[in-house]
Amino acid sequence: MKSAIPRAPMADINVTPFVDVVLVLLIIFMVTAPFLQGGLEIDLPRVATRGLDVREGLIVSVRADRTVAVGNSVVPAARFEDALARAGASHRPVFLKADQDVPYGTIVELIARMRRSGVASLGLVTQPPAPQARR
């Protein structure tokens, strides 16, 4: 006859399933992160400068066909100042990305409109020049 020994509840926590879930989530985020950094396709001019951290600011983009986007949304020219105000451009840095084929006068006009709407900090975004082949 067996003696009736009361069993104590198991007090250990099994963390293996938790670690499995965390690793799967990490892999999912690592795979999807490059797709989240979208934006508009713009051929930026190539200039050798120091890099800017554009993640904290608002990006204003001008495509080769002169369409303007505030953030990721294309904005009609008449509503440009309203879009800047909605995006809080007067309270954070604004970075201008313009295609190299856009005329200089268009860029200057856009910068003047941004200044009139209260943009205090404005940066121009370029690409580093392509490395030259050694001879």
What domains sit in the chain, N to C, each tagged with a CATH number?
Answer: 54-124 (3.30.420.270)
pLDDT digit string, tens, across residues 9-23? 777 788 888 999 999
pLDDT digit string, tens, across residues 67-104? 999 888 899 988 989 988 888 888 888 899 888 889 98
- Tell me, what's the pLDDT at 13? 80
Q: What pTM does this model have? A: 0.57
Average pLDDT value over all residues in the chain: 81
Whether the CB-CB separation of 62 and 95 falls below 8 Å is answered with no
Alpha-carbon gap, residue 28 to 74, rounded angstroms: 30
Query: Average of pLDDT values for 119-124?
Result: 84
